[in-house]
Amino acid sequence: MQPLQSCDLNAKTCVPCEGGVARYSTEAAQAQLALLPLWKLTHDGTRIRRDWKLPDFRSGIKLINNVAALAEREQHHPDLHLEGYRRVWIEIHTHAIGGLSENDFILAAKIDAIAPA
């Protein structure tokens, strides 16, 4: 699998996945993450995660709501977490394959486009 450019990722739409798709190897995932430097591999290379420390609770809720709306449009749903009133972290993987697919990187790129740095 060749890594896509980040602009390519933003232009794509997540495709529903019910399994039957090979998950990304750790090497392929790392190559794709080179375009998404704010994300990191977790869970032995089967998930990606990004963390934020926001100014306040309201900012954290706003981020989660914006990502939730995006996830609904894309029909690809990440794990959303709010801890300590202003720390948000998002973890993405394709549940049906127990690892990472192109959808995960598409969603991460789209989250980067709407989220605070």
- CA dist 81 and 71 (Å) reads 14
The yes-or-no verdict on residue 22 having pLDDT over 90 is: no
The yes-or-no verdict on residue 64 having pLDDT over 70 is: yes
The yes-or-no verdict on residue 98 having pLDDT over 70 is: yes
Q: Return the CATH number of the domain spanning residue range 6-12+19-114.
A: 3.30.1360.20
Q: How far apart are the first and last CA of the chain?
A: 28
CB atoms within 10 A of CB 64: 15
Average pLDDT over the chain, rounded to whole? 89
Amino acid 6: pLDDT: 54
The yes-or-no verdict on residue 3 having pLDDT over 60 is: no
Sheet containing 79-83: order of strands: 40-42, 47-53, 87-92, 79-83
The yes-or-no verdict on residue 7 having pLDDT over 60 is: no
All structural domains of the chain with their residue ranges: 6-12+19-114
